Amino acid sequence: MEKIVERFISYAKINTQSDESSKTCPTTRGQLELAHRVMDEMQRIGLDDVAVDKNGYLTATLPGNIKTNVPVIGFIAHFDTSPEFTGEGVNPQIVEFTGKDITLNKKDNIILSPDRFPLLKNYTGQQIITTDGNTLLGADDKAGIAEIITAMEFLKEHPEIPHGKIRIGFTPDEEIGRGADRFDVQAFGAEFAYTVDGSGIGELEYENFNAAKAKITINGLNVHPGYSKDKMKNSILIAMELNHMLPASEIPQHTENYEGFFHLLGISGSVERTTTDYIIRDHDRERFEMRKKLLAKSIDYLNLKYGEQTVDLEMMDQYYNMKEKILPVFHVVDLALKAIQAAGITPKTIPIRGGTDGSKLSYMDLPCPNLFGGGHNFHSRYEFIPVRSMEKAVEVIVNIAKMNAEEHTTSVSSPVHQ
């Protein structure tokens, strides 16, 4: 416990927020700083082939300790934290949670309350790591990194546990959708992998959103408001009109489970020119395509109403539902379910209401479901992670490695019955 807590807290203190406006890879220097710190740590543990490439991708190998050839497994996590909330000056706190409100910041009266966040009640009597109320924590996904490294160190120190070759990969810029863009799947050399990038204890995810983003520019016409009748074209009002044309109930705060949405991320402008940014999400591919068509047709209508080139749309797909790639190799899910159960945890298979590196990697021929990391309330000042959940994530990773070896060793050595 002390080792994984110390490891995670040291990672959390490094600001690794990604930056969508940057054209470099990684997009921020803090990610490289963490990559090199983790690289040094992996070398001290005694892993092989430890290297950080020019783009900030860190890979390493734990060699197998059995003679039987078994599928090479990968474990993957990401360095960056969300650009949506500050990661500068992270000051983690270890709290014995008694079931009552936790004061994160006494000065500003910032409270982490089980009344507001009922999931907290599941961890009564446990140690949890929180923020000091001023930043995010970074459990997404520095917990995943700490858990993978701790599991590899445990396997290194316990050679009696059988396992095949294991590959480790840590990526930059996952939070802005670029984590898998420069990942060399062929060089990684795993038959399948798991991202350790999920939330609460026991969760296993092999479904995620289909995703697109849209940047919309509205060109207006400004005239003195006292003399603007039949002349002014207020781009702000047209942007509002467009938003009202989309289903009012199909937004993040009104949807759950498999329900998709349109999400207005930002709006800025003036009478003359306004820009808006949306993300479009749906688990079902057909409904996803219908959502994109609805947005496009709404803009066509506004251009018909207000004149050609009033509204300009730039829309691009970001990632797709990994389920399409996981179902044909469902044994990778079955293996993880057994590993979770062996750790004394009830598995929870739920759809991801977002995406992971695993979704893109699955479409790059590396099937990659998502394992829990243990954290909650990601991307916010109320983020927290129970220490026991981190320990159990380590145990599940070790179980996957062990069971993969045992299953294939048994299948090779057992006689074939006709």
Residue 281 sits in a domain whose CATH number is 3.30.70.360
pLDDT the model gives residue 416: 32
- Tally of structural domains, the chain: 2
Tell me which of 275, 297, 318 is where a domain ends.
318
Residue 188 and residue 86 share a domain: yes
Q: Mean pLDDT per 10-residue run, the chain (418 residues)?
A: 93 97 96 98 97 96 95 98 95 97 96 96 97 97 98 97 98 94 97 96 96 97 94 97 97 96 96 98 97 98 97 96 96 98 96 89 96 96 98 98 88 37
Say what the pLDDT of residue 408 is: 80
Q: Could you tell me if 199 and 84 lie in one domain?
A: yes
Residues 56 and 100 in one domain: yes
pLDDT of residue 418: 30
pLDDT in tens, 213-266: 999 999 999 999 999 999 999 999 999 999 999 999 999 999 999 999 999 999
195 and 311 belong to one structural domain: no
Residue 91's alpha-carbon distances to 11, 136, 138, 192, in angstroms, are 11, 9, 11, 36
Residues 35 and 178 in one domain: yes
Q: Verify that 46 and 180 share a domain, yes or no.
A: yes
Task: Please tell me whether residues 35 and 157 are part of one structural domain.
Answer: yes
Residue 356 · residue 371 · CB < 8 Å: no
Give the pLDDT confidence score for residue 412 in this predicted structure. 41
Helix (H) or strand (E) holding 395: helix 387-413
Q: Among 318, 341, 366, which residue terminates a domain? A: 318
DSSP 197-240: EE-STTEEE----EEEEEEEEEE-B---GGG-TTT-B-HHHHHH
**Residue 156 domain flag:** yes
CATH of the domain at 124: 3.40.630.10
Digit-coded pLDDT (tens) for 70-121: 999 999 999 999 999 999 999 999 999 999 999 999 999 999 999 999 999 9
Domain assignment present for 65:
yes
d(CA 121, CA 50): 40
CB 160 within 8 A of CB 334: no
Q: Do both 190 and 307 map to the same domain?
A: no
Asked if 335 and 347 sit in the same domain, the reply is yes
pTM of the model: 0.89
Q: What is the number of other CB atoms lying within 10 angstroms of the CB of residue 163?
A: 24
- Asked if residue 418 belongs to a domain, the reply is no
Same domain for 222 and 190: no
Structural domain span for residue 252: 210-318
Residues 245 and 141 grouped into a single domain = no
Classified as helix, coil or strand, 40 is helix
Residue 410 confidence (pLDDT): 60
135/275 same-domain check: no
48 within domain boundaries: yes
> Which of these three, 318, 336, 358, is where a domain ends?
318
pLDDT at 355: 82
Does residue 22 fall inside a structural domain? yes
Catalytic (active-site) positions: 80, 174
Count CB neighbours of 158 within 10 A: 12
